[in-house]
Amino acid sequence: MAVLILEDGTRFEGTLFGDKRGACGEVIFTTGMCGYQQTLTDPAYRGQIVCMTYPLIGNVGVNDLDFESRGVQPAGVVVSELCELPSNWQLKKSLDEYMNEQGVTGIYGVDTRALTRHIRRQGAMRGWIVENDQEAAALGAIDSDVIMEASCKEAHTVSTGGDVKIAVLDLGMKKSLTDWIVKKGAQVSVFPANTASEEILASGCDGVLISCGPGNPNAYPQIVENVKALMQMKPVMGVGTGHLMMALASGCRVSKMLYGHHGSNQPVKDFARGTCAVTSQAIGYAVDGESLPGSVTVSHINWNDKTVEGLRYEGRKAFSVAFVPGGLGGPFDTTYLFDEFLAMVRDVK
């Protein structure tokens, strides 16, 4: 028998699977009803313990096609029922086998509904997956430099085809983010999160995409300064954490939400279109709507809690959204934003 211990002392019993050495991280929940492989390989979850609210996990195993990065990104995983006999025509291995290979600990048999309700009331907090209380202390502190951990280590080219050149500042992006830009007809080069704006501009790019990723954007002032410089020189689009970096670069405040937005079913209102779309999100911070300077306007809001989900930056060719317009597992309701960004880049070019 193992246990998930929250920092407020609340305990949830279960059984270990995957690598059984234990895990520590911020405990959050994700509300997606499908796509657990994409969630587990999304760098935006780097260093967190992810509770899956959908009760049965692992039923289709793991395949070679649905990865968003090279491996499991969360520090740990919490599920209600773990499927031990997965079935799918693309199946390569079970979730238990894959997580063991990746060195990531999971716990199943947990009352995930009770855990989710607790986090909704008390907020996301640190937690430990262990077999006994002594092991929790031995696991040590939670790493805070998650963006640099999740980012690529050196610049690289994804595609050389296309009529415009897009530089992507990788804050811990999903693979499908660049897949969409390539699909829309652009050349794509990716740069590590700590790359200076001068180096990105020297690449000859026509536009810049600031990617999604994990962590607290307030902890990375140098990245904010680089983003500010890029916004003054090129058309820029930001998604997820990239949206928060652009907001900070424009003088907005960014604060931690009680339990964040995690999952592929977040409703977002687009004011310009007058529509509400289903979006995929993995973000724990939001722009303070009361802190917007006069040059920044709200373009999208979350229809659940009315938090700011999108911004337009007047006087600049720039906009940002807190969600990811397209990703493996869907939804794809807002991929028109990629078209809008590339149209803006082509117009400037």
Look at the chain and report how many structural domains it folds into.
2
Which CATH number does the domain housing residue 201 bear?
3.40.50.880
132, 266: one domain? no
For 154-209, what is each residue's pLDDT tens digit?
999 999 889 999 999 999 999 999 999 999 999 999 999 999 999 999 999 999 99
124, 159: one domain? no
Mean pLDDT over all residues of the chain? 94
197, 58: one domain? no
pTM of the model: 0.94
Q: What is the pLDDT of residue 326?
A: 77
Which CATH number does the domain housing residue 11 bear?
3.50.30.20
Closest CA to 14 of 123, 99, 128: 128
Instruction: Count Cβ neighbours within 10 Å for each residue of 187-199 and write b for 16 or more, e otherwise.
Output: bbbbbbbebebee
- Domain finish residue from 143, 172, 201: 143
139, 173: one domain? no
15, 136: one domain? yes
In DSSP notation, 13-67 reads EEEEEESTT-EEEEEEEE--SS-HHHHHT-GGGTTEEEEE-SSEE-TT-B-SS--
| Cα R_g (the chain), whole angstroms | 20
User: Measured between alpha carbons, how far is 216 from 266 in angstroms, rounded to an integer?
Assistant: 20
User: Measured between alpha carbons, how far is 112 from 50 in angstroms, rounded to an integer?
Assistant: 11
- How many helices, marked H, and strands, marked E, lie in the chain? 10, 19
- Domain finish residue from 143, 162, 181: 143
Q: Contact 223/197 with Cβ under 8 angstroms?
A: no
331, 227: one domain? yes
- φ/ψ of 225, rounded to 5, equals -65, -40
177, 253: one domain? yes
- Domain finish residue from 102, 126, 143: 143
154, 62: one domain? no
pLDDT at 12 over 70: yes
295, 175: one domain? yes
Q: Contact 130/49 with Cβ under 8 angstroms?
A: no
Per-state percent for the chain, helix, strand, coil, to nearest 5: 25, 35, 40
211, 319: one domain? yes
Instruction: Name the 3-class secondary structure at 260.
Output: strand
pLDDT at 271 over 60: yes
Domain that holds residue 167: 147-348
Question: In sequence order, what are the beta bridge partners of 261?
Answer: 283
pLDDT at 329 over 90: no
Question: In sequence order, what are the beta bridge partners of 337?
Answer: none
Q: What is the pLDDT of residue 134?
A: 66
253, 302: one domain? yes
For 235-248, what is each residue's pLDDT tens digit?
999 999 999 999 99
159, 121: one domain? no
For 80-116, what is each residue's pLDDT tens digit?
999 999 999 999 999 999 999 999 999 999 999 999 9
